[in-house]
Chain A
Amino acid sequence: MDDIKTVAVAGAGTMGSGIAIVAARAGFETYLFDTSEDTVARARKQTEGFFAKSVAKGKLTEEQVSEILGRMHGTSKVEDLATCDLVIEAVFEDLKVKHDLFGRLNDVCPEHTIFASNTSTLSISEIAGGSGRSDRVVGMHFCLPAQLMKLVEMSPGLNTSEETFNKAWVFCESLKQKPVRTQDTPGFILNYFLVPFNNDVIRLIESGVAEPADVDRAIKKGLGYPMGPCELLDLIGLDTQVRLCEAFYEVTKDPRAACPPLLKRMVAANRLGRKTGQGFYNYEQDAMFGG
């Protein structure tokens, strides 16, 4: 699209890295920013591994991958984002962290730059309130793993201008993603259903009704879901589920959104899922999903 040529993703975790892949793959100059240089380097290594698998599967040629990687720039300096037309934040689900980030970006980026939030539970209007440019903030919630999933939930905040929302929508389509418009309500559509559902699963296991493998088998075979809920929780990260619960429960006070005690115990024991090699299942590899 004409207006947006250079984009940035702030936060080089699993989600941020995946979004950066989507943007660079669609032809945009893409900065992947994180305050930790180690995190940026790890994301680059995983991204190269992901594209190597894409080549092996015949989805991309080595030349194409070389071009895509040439468009991806890792950085730990926020000043490097000064030329960006759109910044998507994918940092912790913490309103203050997001306000601090957008506050710094507001000083660095030009007036026209759109700030997008990949938040899955926080209010876009509240995030926009601390951005310094609330009319140019929009919700763009990608799904895990972002480099493979097409859906993006797009939500305007109360002050988001129609022009901003439309530009972000067209940008999303130019990424070859599928945007769906949702209200700025807690969890939008996906997490409104998923967070309590996953908590119900954890409570079911905690109360001894069934083992994780039996729950996953039942849900996959009985309903045709591609992943069992325990497999999905291990992919999302159990610490992420805790943060989702805290953010979601804070706003909704829905008892199903409250963090189950077993989840807290597993996080305390560093059983965070794939990222630490143990969650509901044991893992031994450290590779990005798909290819």
Chain B
Amino acid sequence: MEYQVIKTEGESRSFPNGSEFMSNASESSEIVVLIGSKAGDALGALSDQESKRAILVELGTECLALHTGESRGREGSNILGFARFRLGNDAPSDLVELVCQPNSSDEAIDSAVQLFKEAGLEVSVCRDFAGRIIDRLVRPYYNEALRRLDEGLATADDLDLTLKLGLGYPEGPIELLERAGLADHHDVTKTLFEVYGERAYAPARRAVVAKQRTQR
């Protein structure tokens, strides 16, 4: 499937420089993929948007609606959002979260799913909510693990071991956060806390401290 990539300012977290996805792109196509940390900002400058089969905008922690606007729950077009899930400084995973709005075009969704699958990725379709699927579910778990570590429920090693052996997780939450970055976790969960206002998303003390240490 042919697609055009428009790289905007700032490195893409989904497709870092040199990725095969970018080198396989065409000069022009009915499917346009905007990537980079400012991908959404470039949407306004894209001409002839209605004629495209799909316009895919790389998202950070923001909602797609920040770039498209919303209207009485009837929003949706050929413009979709996407992000490969990526924890902190880890390499991007093979999972693409494809963000749709209530009236997103079926043709755009089908095209996007096919495009990413042909690139060797798997796709989960979700609606346009902060945190999409994975961050929305795992950030409360990570916060709670950090809080319970503070409260002495068990040692960090036993917490990690229990969750690995009990649920088959490849990593325990404490070792995962240490590796991927507590400060990054702080940034993601703080964004969700601002949107949802729920205690579960409030950055845990250890994440706050880690963030503060990066700012000294």
9 new A-B contacts at CB < 8 Å, known A214-B124, A221-B93: A149-B165, A149-B166, A193-B144, A197-B137, A197-B141, A204-B137, A210-B133, A214-B125, A217-B123
26 sampled A-B residue pairs with Cβ under 8 A: A143-B166, A151-B161, A151-B165, A178-B161, A180-B154, A180-B165, A181-B158, A182-B162, A183-B152, A189-B166, A193-B144, A196-B200, A204-B133, A204-B137, A208-B127, A210-B133, A211-B125, A214-B125, A214-B126, A215-B124, A218-B95, A218-B126, A218-B133, A222-B133, A226-B168, A227-B168
Q: Is A283 interfacial (CB 8 A cutoff)? A: no
A-B contact count (CB 8 A): 128
A107 at the interface (CB under 8 A from B): no
Interface string of A190-232 (1 = CB under 8 A from B): 1011101100110010001111001101110111111101001
- Given A180-B154, A209-B127, A209-B129, decide whether A219 and B134 contact each other with a Cβ distance below 8 A: yes
Provide the bound-state CA to CA distance between A22 and B152, in Å: 31
Interface assignment of B55: CB less than 8 Å from any CB of chain A? no
Give 4 nearest A-B pairs by CB, closest first: A151-B165, A222-B85, A222-B95, A221-B95
B162 contacts A180, CB within 8 Å?
yes
Q: Which residue of chain A lies nearest to B152 when distances are taken between CB atoms in the complex?
A: A183
B167 close to A (CB within 8 Å): yes
B58 at the interface (CB under 8 A from A): no
Question: Within the complex, which residue of A197, A209, A219, A221 is in contact with B126, where a contact is CB–CB below 8 Å?
Answer: A209
**A residues bordering B, Cβ < 8 Å?**
143, 149-151, 153, 178, 180-183, 185, 189-190, 192-194, 196-197, 200-201, 204, 208-211, 214-215, 217-219, 221-227, 229, 232, 256
The contact of B124 among A143, A190, A208, A217, by CB within 8 Å, is A217
At the interface, yes or no: B170 with Cβ under 8 Å from chain A?
A: yes
Are A182 and B154 touching (Cβ within 8 A)?
yes
* Assembled-state Cα–Cα distance A221/B122 (Å): 8
Neighbour of A218 across the interface among B124, B129, B169, CB < 8 A: B124
Contacts of B119 in A (CB 8 A): none
Q: How far is the CA of A1 from the CA of B75 in the complex (A)?
A: 67
B199 CB to closest chain A CB, in angstroms?
A: 8
Pair A193/B141 contact, Cβ less than 8 Å: yes
Q: B85 and A210: CB pair below 8 A?
A: no
Once the chains are docked, how many angstroms separate the CA of A217 from the CA of B169? 15
- Closest chain B residue to A151 by CB distance? B165
Given known A-B contacts A218-B124, A225-B169, A256-B200, A182 and B153 have beta carbons under 8 A apart: yes
Bound CA span A201–B126, Å: 13
B109-139 vs A, CB cutoff 8 Å, 1 = contact: the mask equals 0000000000000111111010011101110
On whether the beta carbons of B137 and A200 are closer than 8 Å, the reply is: yes
Q: Are B166 and A190 in contact (CB under 8 A)?
A: yes
Chain A positions within 8 Å of B141 at CB level? 193, 197
CA A186 – CA B123 in complex, angstroms? Answer: 36
Task: Report the bound CA distance from A55 to B46 in whole Å.
Answer: 63
Instruction: Tell whether, in the assembled complex, residue B162 and residue A256 are in contact, meaning their CB atoms are under 8 Å apart.
Output: no
Q: Which of B124, B138, B158, B170 contacts A189 (CB 8 A)?
A: B158
User: Are A192 and B166 touching (Cβ within 8 A)?
Assistant: no
Residues of A within 8 A of B163 (CB): 189-190, 193
CA distance A116 to B132 in the complex (A): 42
- Across the interface, do A183 and B153 meet the contact criterion of CB distance under 8 Å? yes
Does B148 reach chain A (CB closer than 8 Å)? yes
Give residues of chain B (154-199) contacting chain A, Cβ–Cβ below 8 Å. 154, 158-159, 161-163, 165-171, 173
The residues of A that contact B162 with a CB separation of less than 8 Å are 151, 153, 180, 182, 189-190
Q: Which residues of chain A come closer than 8 Å to B165, judged between CB atoms?
A: 143, 149-151, 178, 180
Residues of A within 8 A of B144 (CB): 192-193, 196
A189 to B165, CA, bound (A): 12
A143 to chain B, nearest CB (A): 5
Known: A197-B137, A201-B137. A218 touches B97 (CB 8 A): yes
Output the residue of B126, B154, B166, B171 with the most chain A CB within 10 A: B166
| Given A189-B153, A200-B140, A222-B134, A210:B125 Cβ within 8 A | yes
In the bound assembly, the distance between CA atoms of A224 and B122 in angstroms comes to: 13
